[in-house]
Amino acid sequence: MSKRPSTQPPLAAEAFSLPVRVYYEDTDAAGLVYYANYLRFCERARTEWLRSLAFSQQRLMTDEGIAFVVRSVEARYRAPARLDDLLAVVSRISRLGGASLEFDQKIYRKEELIFDARITIACIDIAGQRPAPLPPALRIRLLPSAQS
């Protein structure tokens, strides 16, 4: 059983944790969380993290003309989650590029690590469908306080 790391500081902004309850709709015929739903939980956590920093996906699309797309995913399923489990999706930025972010995301049931993923997100210009730099105001919020 893996424990949540407590002494390793994140490269960028502090870790963000989102509680997620497993509902019936999240499970498959065997009563376990369907494998793709772990990625949905991770997506939800990234969106709520942005929202907690006062950046909404909708505002970034309409005001800045940018959106975030998943570029790559490396995932490990360690133990199944079941109906009514209370999970914590813990997200950290492991790399902050000019037009991309790499997230380390882990899902815990109490102290047990049940899923972990490294997910690379690219920032794109919606109109041109090309990579776009992260907005400066967002970049400042994502950098650790020691670097900003």
pLDDT single digits (tens) 55-71:
999 999 999 999 999 99
Beta strands in 57-129 (DSSP E): 66-77, 86-96, 100-109, 112-125
Give 24's strand partners: none
- 2 within a domain of the structure (yes/no): no
12 vs 67: CA distance, rounded Å: 20
User: What local confidence, expressed as pLDDT, does residue 51 receive?
Assistant: 92
Look up residue 140 and give its amino acid: I
Question: What confidence score (pLDDT) does residue 144 get?
Answer: 62
Q: How confident is the model at residue 140 (pLDDT cuts 50, 70, 90)?
A: confident
Judged against a pLDDT cut of 50, whether residue 6 lies above it is answered with no
Q: Which residue's structure tokens are 């109906």? A: 83
Domain assignment present for residue 38? The answer is yes
> CATH code at 80?
3.10.129.10
**Residue 9 forms part of a structural domain:** no
Instruction: State mean pLDDT over 39-54.
Output: 95
Residue 10 lies in a domain: no
Query: Which residue carries 């490990």 as its tokens?
Result: 76
Q: Which domain holds residue 30?
A: 16-142
Annotated catalytic residue: which of 26, 28, 63, 84? 28
Please give the pLDDT value at position 3: 46
Mean pLDDT score across all residues of the chain = 89
Q: What is the mean pLDDT of residues 111-115?
A: 98
Whether 104 is in a domain gets the answer yes
State the Cα–Cα distance between residues 93 and 86, nearest whole angstrom: 23
Top mean pLDDT of 1-15, 73-87, 132-146 is at: 73-87
Residue 1 has pLDDT above 90, yes or no: no
Question: How many domains is the chain partitioned into structurally?
Answer: 1
Q: Is 28 a catalytic residue?
A: yes
**Terminal-residue alpha carbon distance, the chain:** 36
| Percent share of the chain, pLDDT over 70 | 88
And the tokens for 27?
């499970």
Q: What is the mean pLDDT of residues 16-42?
A: 97
Confidence of residue 143 (pLDDT cuts 50, 70, 90): confident
C-alpha closest to that of 47 among 64, 67, 73? 67
pLDDT band for position 29 (cuts 50, 70, 90):
very high
